Amino acid sequence: MSDGINHEIVKITVPLEYASQRLDAVLVKMFPDYSRSRLQQWIKAERVLLDGVIPRAKDKVIGGDQLELHIEHEILDQGVVAQDMNLDIVYEDDDILVVNKPVGLVVHPAAGHADGTLQNGLLFHDDKLHEVPRSGIVHRLDKDTSGLLVVAKTLKAHKLLVEQLQARTVHREYQAIVFGVLTSGGTVDIGIGRHGRDRKKMAVKAEGKQAITHFRVLDRYRGHSRIKVNLETGRTHQIRVHMAHIKHPLVGDQTYGGRLQLPQGCGDALKEMLRGFSRQALHARKLGLIHPSTGKHMEWKAPLPDDMKQLIAVLEDDIARDITEDDYDLEDFSDEYTHE
């Protein structure tokens, strides 16, 4: 593996039913783990032999031909070091794994985060992920967003999961705590692009990439709402940008949340909680997809992390404090005017 590549030679007979079909089309059918473009590249690189002869992509097979394919499993991201870490893996088989990412864990190395990322941990968990693009990571969550991510363990699974994401058939459901009391749910359908001045931020732009966010109210508090969010698209910071755009930013969002807002009349416990909640209150709670090998729909759920549970408890207690005070006032009033 010194050249960063694992070499494998596969010899196989072309089925008779593929007679008179183009070689590249036949390769796609016989090697579904690889994309058509990759197989065509291998033909051009003379890593495919048909009856011992170097063919062209457009050559027709006759059926019964002896096909020899020199597969190169490239060791991708060689600079990413495998690191032992305690991953919360909620499901795993030969094709995929689903991980519940904690708050504070970066998904893959980037500027300022050379290691200690989910990708480092995945490579330690399974060394074969070196052979899959980005170690099988097909979608991401922000550093301070918790919840479910699916990882492809094979090239075939990677290809099919990417196709599902592009076709918008992967079901992703989030829960978030936002500022403001929402009266109902809705849909935000407006493009998102890179911020004009701050390149680390995203912004709503009509000419940006299409972004569609659906949300529904689960609970209402004194000055906040807990919402369920479903994504049709997966743009960077999509939920955070869209909710800020409709004036309901996520609690704790240091990038898009603006100045801290304290609801009028809220108690000290809630004030302390809001002042100390320094990450966006966002959790990828549910993930659903078609399994790349079985073709069956699978779905997973991850409970809310402790910090969001504590935030919800304080929000509920703050409302209960008002109810309790009102009850005392009613009891005092009733006692004062009781007739014997």
Give the tokens for residue 145. Answer: 């967003």
For the beta carbon of residue 250, count every other beta carbon within 10 angstroms.
23
Residue type, 68: E
Instruction: Please report which residue ranges of the chain form alpha helices under DSSP H.
Output: 23-30, 36-44, 118-125, 155-166, 238-245, 268-276, 306-336
Check if 115 is active-site.
no
Select which of 24, 65, 142, 253 is catalytic: 142
Quick one: which of 77, 79, 74, 142 has its CA closest to 105?
142
Written as one string, the DSSP assignment of 104-119 is: T--SS-BTTBSSSSHH
CA angle 299, 300, 302 (to 5 degrees): 155
How many Å apart are CA 168 and CA 234, to the nearest integer?
A: 9
| Strand ranges (E), 118-211 | 146-152, 171-179, 186-189, 192-194, 202-204
Catalytically active residues are 142
